[in-house]
């Protein structure tokens, strides 16, 4: 038990350290290739911080526990909004002026597909392929936007892709994944010692554990007043958790869903709320953050 707590602390330290590097050098990478911090948050940072969900969920499906993969994705998306975003809002009111409507549409569509596909209690090969097709479509839009941004910058000044930054970021993502694995493994061992169910673990402890990178990067981003990077990270992470993580997981092992209706209703409610807040350019206030934290506390309590 003591070893698990030590590993838990080490995992957290590694996650925070790697998150600091990702924010710092991700920002420099944005400058070096001439794209916005929001775009970096939406893609590079979101992809990196979604890697723990990807690793845990794929492993769970391979090992014949697809329900854990599903609970991890749904729980992580809830945690990204009701825990990560709400905690960040306690530091200062949040607002992003660079959130693209097309990203918000994918944000809403990915969650809506999860609700529709999960309603009958089963996600099979057909649904998994649909997730992957939407992900390919999403990647096409990202590539198109990236090309447009680069062409605009080409008309202004020369830019260069710094290989040193890519190496640092790659190492940071590796540390992030290793740290997350330490954190998750120790959290699971601690949970098992207290006889907590797999459903509760996947929706709460595993989901919180895999959302630690988002929390760490987001807290650092809000501390440095990088609101665009923060919002881009949350939106991008939730999109990728569904399309990049849940799709392949369900394709590896079809998912049977039991008693997750309340969680589905909560995640779609939170998604719609964030969609309209960003679409209408409304500030995410401290009061809203407190209400969401209370909601998340009730969600955690209900799972146990």
- Number of domain units in the chain: 1
The phi and psi torsions of 123 (rounded to 5 degrees) equal: -120, 110
pLDDT, residue 156, reads 43
pLDDT, residue 248, reads 92
pLDDT, residue 31, reads 64
Residue 155's CB: how many other CB atoms inside 10 A?
A: 6
Enclosing H/E stretch for 123: strand 122-123
Record the pTM: 0.80
pLDDT, residue 166, reads 78
CATH of the domain at 129: 1.20.1420.30
Cross-strand partners of 258: none
**Where do we find the tokens 């918000």?**
104
CA–CA distance, 129 with 135 (Å, rounded to integer): 10
- By the 10 Å C-beta count (0-12 exposed, 13-18 middle, 19+ buried), 83 is classed as buried
pLDDT, residue 82, reads 92
The phi and psi torsions of 99 (rounded to 5 degrees) equal: -65, 125
Residue of 92, 77, 121 whose CA lies nearest to 236: 77
CA–CA distance, 102 with 32 (Å, rounded to integer): 25
Which two tokens mark 69? Answer: 């993969």
Is the CB of residue 172 less than 8 Å from the CB of residue 27? no
pLDDT tens across the length of the chain (304 residues)? 788 888 888 887 887 777 777 767 776 776 666 666 666 666 666 776 677 778 778 877 887 878 888 888 999 999 999 999 899 888 888 876 667 788 889 999 999 999 999 888 889 999 999 999 998 888 887 777 666 655 555 544 444 556 777 788 888 878 877 887 787 778 777 777 877 766 677 788 778 877 877 787 788 778 877 777 778 878 888 998 899 899 999 999 998 887 678 888 999 999 999 999 888 888 888 899 999 999 999 998 887 7
CA–CA distance, 167 with 190 (Å, rounded to integer): 35
Which two tokens mark 291? Answer: 């209400």
Domain that holds residue 223: 2-303
């Amino acid at each position: 038990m003591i070893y698990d707590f030590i590993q838990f602390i080490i995992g957290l330290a590694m996650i925070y350290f790697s998150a600091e590097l990702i924010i710092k050098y991700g920002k420099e990478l944005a400058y070096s290739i001439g794209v916005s911090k929001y775009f970096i948050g939406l893609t590079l940072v979101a992809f990196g911080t979604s890697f723990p969900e990807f690793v845990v969920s794929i492993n769970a499906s391979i090992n014949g526990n697809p329900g854990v993969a599903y609970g991890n994705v749904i729980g992580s998306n809830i945690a990204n909004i009701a825990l990560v975003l709400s905690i960040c809002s306690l530091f200062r009111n949040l607002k992003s002026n660079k959130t693209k409507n097309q990203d918000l549409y994918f944000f809403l569509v990915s969650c809506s597909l999860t609700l529709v596909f999960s309603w009958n209690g089963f996600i099979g090969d057909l649904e998994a392929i649909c997730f992957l097709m939407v992900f390919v479509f999403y990647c096409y839009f990202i590539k198109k936007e990236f090309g447009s941004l680069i062409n605009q910058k080409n008309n202004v000044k020369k830019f260069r892709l710094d290989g040193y930054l890519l190496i640092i970021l790659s190492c940071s993502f590796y540390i992030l994944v290793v740290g997350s694995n330490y954190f998750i493994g120790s959290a699971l061992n601690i949970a098992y010692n207290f006889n907590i169910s797999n459903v509760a673990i996947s929706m709460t402890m595993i989901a919180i554990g895999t959302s630690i990178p988002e929390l760490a990067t987001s807290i650092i981003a809000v501390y440095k007043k990088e609101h665009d990077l923060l919002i881009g990270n949350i939106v991008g992470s939730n999109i990728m958790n569904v399309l990049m993580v849940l799709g392949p997981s369900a394709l590896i092992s079809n998912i049977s869903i039991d008693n997750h209706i309340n969680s589905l209703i909560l995640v779609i409610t939170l998604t719609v709320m964030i969609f309209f807040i960003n679409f209408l350019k409304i500030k995410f206030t401290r009061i809203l953050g407190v209400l969401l934290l209370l909601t998340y506390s009730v969600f955690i309590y209900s799972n146990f």
